[in-house]
């Protein structure tokens, strides 16, 4: 079998035609390099507890639903919860506030009602390694049954592999799963966002805080963004991106969700 050869022009046209999922923060959108999270990409959110990883995932699950006229996709999302951080009440606050902001911008009611917006988020509890592996195995079937899914959020990718598996087994299994997930994202034009935790790497004289899962994993995603908190403000630092230069964004977490700092 021969592989098709594309010109750089064809690749550029394909990449620039792909829409992005906004975060409701222009500073944060710029940090990701494509006015938000681009479809067909695998994005990793790094950070300590309380840095805003889960909140940002829920905001993206709401943002993917906003009308296309406002830069959204009018689509659905899938949230894979591996450490039971997701709360339906908090997501309802975020999605209702997002729709209300859209109504103000359009100066008319949106076609999406609050109840319908909640139904557009599909939730899977994947607590434990066995349930997580089963979820990843059935992911193509889930996407086939819900073809309007344009975002898959996994919070977190680290938690299922904390116990009961050796580092070498973890690396092989995780990389196979991510390869299949990325293939699915490319075929169905879906954005994949995974959260990762921080761990301490002990050196010869001191230790440093780095992302979990090792150096090999650090090169697996298309984009890697480090989140941190400074008081009430949050900062996002793009550590790696294949679609833009490293950048820094600032945002805050409000009752309405992710917003720019005034």
Structure confidence at residue 204 as a pLDDT band (50, 70, 90): very low
φ, ψ for residue 45, nearest 5 deg: -110, 115
Q: Who has greater pLDDT, 244 or 50?
A: 50
Contact 97, 255 (CB under 8 A): yes
213 vs 206: CA distance, rounded Å:
20
* 204 phi and psi angles, rounded to 5 deg: -70, -35
List, in order of start, the domains of the chain with CATH numbers: 20-259 (3.40.50.300)
d(CA 194, CA 235): 18
Question: Which region holds residue 107: left if phi is over 0, alpha if psi is between -120 and 50, else beta?
Answer: left
When the pLDDT of each residue in the chain is averaged and rounded to a whole number, the result is: 85
Using the predicted structure, report yes or no on whether residue 255 has a pLDDT greater than 60.
yes
- State the SS3 of the chain: CCCCCCCHHHHHHHHHHCCEECCCCHHHHHHHCCCCEECCCEEEEEECCCCCHHHHHHHHHHHCCCCHHHCCCCCEEEEEECCCCCCHHHHHHHHHHHHHHHHHHHCCCCCCCHHHHHHCEEEEECCCHHHHHHHHHHHHHHHHHCCCEEEEEEECCCHHHCCCCCHHHHHHHHHHHHHHHHHHHHHHCCEEEEEECEEEEECCCCEEEEECCHHHHHCCCCEEEEEEEECCEEEEEEEEECCCCCCEEEEEEECCEEECCC
Whole-angstrom distance, CA of residue 11 vs CA of residue 6:
7
Structure tokens given for 80: 């894979």
Q: Residue 244 has which token pair? A: 């833009």
pLDDT of residue 191: 94
In this predicted structure, the answer to whether residue 228 has a pLDDT above a threshold of 60 is: yes
Dist CA 135 CA 102 (whole Å): 33
Q: Which of 55-69, 132-146, 187-201 has the lowest mean pLDDT?
A: 187-201
- Please state whether the predicted TM-score (pTM) of the whole model is above 0.95: no
pLDDT of 222 reads: 85
Spatial CA neighbour of 223 closest among 196, 198, 200, 201: 196
Position 197 pLDDT exceeds 90: no
Mean pLDDT of 73-102: 92
Going by pLDDT thresholds of 50, 70 and 90, the confidence category of residue 120 is: very high
Cα gap 137→134, rounded to integer Å: 5
**C-alpha neighbours within 13 Å on the C-beta side of residue 182:** 15
For residue 208, pLDDT beyond 60: no
């Amino acid at each position: 079998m021969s592989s098709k050869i594309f010109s750089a022009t064809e690749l550029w046209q394909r990449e620039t035609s792909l829409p992005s999922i906004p975060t409701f923060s222009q500073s944060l959108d710029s940090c990701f390099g494509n006015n938000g999270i681009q479809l067909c990409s695998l994005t990793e959110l790094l950070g300590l507890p309380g840095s805003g990883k889960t909140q940002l995932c829920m905001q993206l699950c709401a943002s993917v639903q906003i009308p296309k006229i406002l830069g959204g996709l009018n689509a659905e999302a899938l949230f894979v919860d591996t450490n039971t951080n997701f709360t339906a009440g908090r997501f309802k606050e975020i999605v209702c506030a997002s729709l209300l902001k859209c109504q103000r911008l359009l100066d008319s009611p949106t076609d999406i009602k609050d109840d319908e917006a909640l139904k557009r988020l599909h939730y899977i509890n994947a607590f434990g390694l066995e349930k997580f592996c089963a979820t990843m195995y059935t992911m193509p079937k889930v996407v086939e049954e819900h073809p309007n899914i344009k975002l898959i959020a996994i919070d977190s990718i680290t938690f299922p592999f904390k116990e009961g598996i050796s580092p070498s087994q973890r690396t092989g299994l995780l990389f196979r799963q991510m390869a299949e997930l990325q293939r699915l994202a490319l075929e169905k034009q879906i954005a994949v966002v995974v959260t990762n935790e921080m761990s301490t790497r002990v050196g010869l004289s001191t230790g440093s805080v780095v992302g979990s899962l090792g150096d090999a994993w650090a090169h697996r995603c298309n984009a890697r963004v480090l989140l941190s908190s400074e008081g009430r403000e949050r900062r996002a630092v793009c550590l790696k991106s294949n679609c833009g230069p490293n950048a820094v964004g600032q945002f805050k977490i409000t009752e309405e969700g992710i917003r720019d700092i005034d």
